[in-house]
Amino acid sequence: MRYSKALIPTVKEVPAEAEIISHQLMLRAGLMRKLASGTYTYLPLGWRILTKVMNIVRDEMNSSGAQEILMPSVQPMELWAQTGRSVDYGKTMAHFTDRHGRENVLAPTAEEVVTSLAAGEINSYKQLPFNLYQISFKFRDEFRPRFGVLRSREFIMKDSYSFHADKESLGETYQQMYDAYCRIFARCGLEYVIVEAESGEMGGSGSHQFTVPCENGEDVIVYTAGNKYAANIEKADVDALPRAAENKDIAAMAEIHTPGAKTIEEVCKFLKAKPKKLIKTLIYKSDDKTIVALVSGDMEINEEKLRIIAGGSIEMANDDTIKKLTGADTGFAGPVGIAEKCDKLVIDHSVAAMAFGITGANKTDYHLAKVVPGRDFPLEGENVIVADIRNAVEGDTYQGKKLLFRRGIEVGQVFELGTKYSKKLGCKFLDADGKENPCLMGCYGIGINRIVASAIENGHDENGIIWPINIAPFEVIITPAGNDENIINASETIYKQLTDMGIEVLLDDRDIRGGVKFKDADLIGIPLRITIGKKSIAENCVEIKLRSSKDIEKVPVENAATKANEIIQSLKVK
Ligand code: ATP
Ligand code: MG
């Protein structure tokens, strides 16, 4: 490709709207332009990179036995109603009514569509297993699109879905996908960590996430030394804190007037108390049931853990529900006397471990002090359970080992779904005995755009992007610095030789200063640069430099293409 003919609109200034480096560099290097909040047009360089990632993904999927299909991006809402996810997916799911009054969904994922497809095609166990995948746009009306393509509204996802007659078969395919994902991320030049994950609204049992550790990641990875245990914070288990010894000397509960103090911070400020002295009381609805959850005031509730205990989806109760339950305004709920009124009281170990604490009095503008767990509210009972329902924090252990924390970007996730979708959508098969069973399913997703952004987050310097060779938009950039005939001739010769060798070359034939060319070459991050300047050509040489290194190697013009080819081949991850 000749630079003079290409649309590579690089920008010097850092765009104000871009908070993190990958977003800034994707705009500055002319890979993409924003259309609207969370949607982007990919320009030629950006699309070349995405295509390379998709080709790696496709190659590994095909060689692990998955078959490519393409499903529509507009799906009937009806299917989502059948699995109950029209409600669970909430506002993230964008939908519209068509001219015939039918409700449609812009595909955020495709479990419903693929399961109903399979339901129509599968009769016998003899057809199983199979694994279907597609690479297509998905749309999610994210609450807060940000960080460029890391959390966008429209993005490209590879999603695959496998169908099985038994658990062993599902386990085998799950492992094949897991291994294929390892190869995909390695070929894309990413360093990644595999963590145990929650399956969220996907449902199902086992799940792993593939995460790229980096400061700007939205996910928190919790792990023990040597990554022996690694989990997403949504899933990470913690050892239970030891229960407080019984102490009969603690005075009786005392009511304190705390006018207007509703939040943990407000109560702490008012009473000059530390958050860890408070019992945080949170009220949720799960269908028509009311669930009260307690955690230590300095810790965060983990809604995924609570959801599993609730046995269904949960949402924060509104002010009316809270008033009905506690008799008080929101902000003054507490556990004393609540077990009799709610459907379930779930107490985190951090609260059971307190000798006594401060908590809402179930009376507007009042709190209670010296509340003793087990004395003033029950720690056991028919509807009372003490469990792990909080996020891990610094100082926690798991199986006695210290937990460590780092941030990461989720680039892919694999799930064992079980029969959640097949049961609801009638995806069944007849087994060898002629008995009808629902298919077992697995599903496996990869965020194509997130791979690109993750590669930049961990591959850049102050001058721009440093691409891993396998996903670079071009492998070599030739930079003639000067207009002398011998410079131009040498550039054209090497360009032709490399192109004939199958190398992807960008020839910077623009009529501009060498300095500007170097800046652009660094910004767009092509792995290998061949520079042809006045000095070197006088010695019949060119300069070869890797984007990732400061070293420059002088090579005779006639050897340049062969040498560059050698370096490129040695860098490639097969
Ligand atoms: P997150 O927890 O980050 O919202 P998710 O777990 O909901 O993601 P999945 O349903 O597992 O996402 O989708 C599969 C893959 O699609 C994810 O691993 C991620 O790489 C990518 N992905 C999901 N949401 C987005 C988004 N808003 N923008 C870009 N990529 C996304
Ligand atoms: Mg996920």
- Quote the ligand 1 centre to 410 CA distance (angstroms): 7
413 pocket-lining for ligand 1 (C-beta < 6 Å): yes
Measuring from atom 3 of ligand 1, which residue has the nearest CA? 410
- Quote the CA–CA distance of 311 and 292 in Å, as a whole number: 14
What pLDDT shows up at residue 376?
96
The answer for residues whose C-beta is within 8 angstroms of residue 449's C-beta and 6 or more apart is 50, 149, 150, 152, 155, 156
Q: Is the CB of 458 under 6 A from ligand 1?
A: no
**Cβ neighbourhood burial of 262 (10 Å; 0-12, 13-18, 19+):** middle
209 CA: nearest ligand 1 atom: 18
Q: Is 211 in the pocket of ligand 1 (CB under 6 A)?
A: no
pLDDT in tens, the chain (574 residues): 999 999 999 999 999 999 999 999 999 999 999 999 999 999 999 999 999 999 999 999 999 999 999 999 999 999 999 999 998 788 899 999 999 999 999 999 999 999 999 999 999 999 999 999 999 999 999 999 999 999 999 999 999 999 999 999 999 999 999 999 999 999 999 999 999 998 765 555 689 999 999 999 999 999 999 888 999 999 999 999 999 888 888 999 999 999 999 999 999 999 999 999 999 999 999 989 999 999 999 999 999 999 999 988 899 999 999 999 999 999 999 999 999 999 999 999 999 999 999 999 999 999 999 999 999 999 999 999 999 999 999 999 999 999 999 999 999 999 999 999 999 999 999 999 999 999 999 999 999 999 999 999 999 999 999 999 999 999 999 999 999 999 999 999 999 999 999 999 999 999 999 999 999 999 999 999 999 999 999 999 999 999 999 999 999 999 999 999 999 999 999 8
CA-CA distance, 107 to 494, in Å (whole number)?
Answer: 47
Asked whether 163 and 129 are in contact (CB, 8 A), the reply is: yes
CA gap 241, 351 in Å, rounded: 9
The finding on whether 412 has its CB within 6 A of some atom of ligand 1 is: yes
Q: For residue 444, how far is its CA from the centre of ligand 1 (angstroms)?
A: 11
CB burial class (10 A; 0-12, 13-18, 19+) of residue 527?
A: buried
Residue 272 CB partners (closer than 8 Å, separation 6+): none
CA 200 / ligand 2 centre spacing (Å): 8
Residue nearest to atom 16 of ligand 1 (CA): 447
- Surface-to-core class of residue 550, CB atoms within 10 Å of its CB (0-12 exposed, 13-18 middle, 19+ buried): exposed
pLDDT for residue 202: 56
Nearest CA to ligand 1 atom 7: 200
From 199, 201, 450, 451, mutation site for ligand 1 pocket: most ligand atoms within 8 A of C-beta: 450
Q: Ligand 1 pocket, 445 CB below 6 A? A: yes
Say yes or no: CB of residue 216 within 6 Å of ligand 1: no
Closest CA to 469 of 188, 231, 183, 236: 188
Q: Whose CA is nearest to atom 25 of ligand 1?
A: 151
For residue 203 and ligand 1, the question of a CB distance below 6 A is answered with no
User: Which residue among 410, 443, 448 has the greatest number of ligand 1 atoms within 8 angstroms of its CB, and so is best to mutate?
Assistant: 410
Q: Does the CB atom of residue 158 touch ligand 1 within 6 A? A: no
Residue nearest atom 23 in ligand 1 by C-alpha distance: 447
**CA gap 489, 495 in Å, rounded:** 10
For residue 449 and ligand 1, the question of a CB distance below 6 A is answered with: yes
Q: Which ligand is nearest to the CA of 449?
A: 1
> The whole model's pTM is what?
0.91
Q: Are strands 130-139 and 67-68 parallel, antiparallel or unpaired?
A: parallel
Identify the pLDDT of residue 37: 94
Ligand 1 atom at minimal distance to the Cα of residue 145: 27
Tokens 């085998």 belong to 172
User: How much distance in Å is there from the Cα of 338 to the middle of ligand 1?
Assistant: 38
Distance CA 472, CA 475 (A): 6
Reference 415, options 151, 115, 161; nearest CA is: 161
Task: Report the alpha-carbon angle 157-107-151, nearest 5.
Answer: 50
CA dist 293 and 300 (Å) reads 11
- For 356, the 3-state DSSP assignment is coil
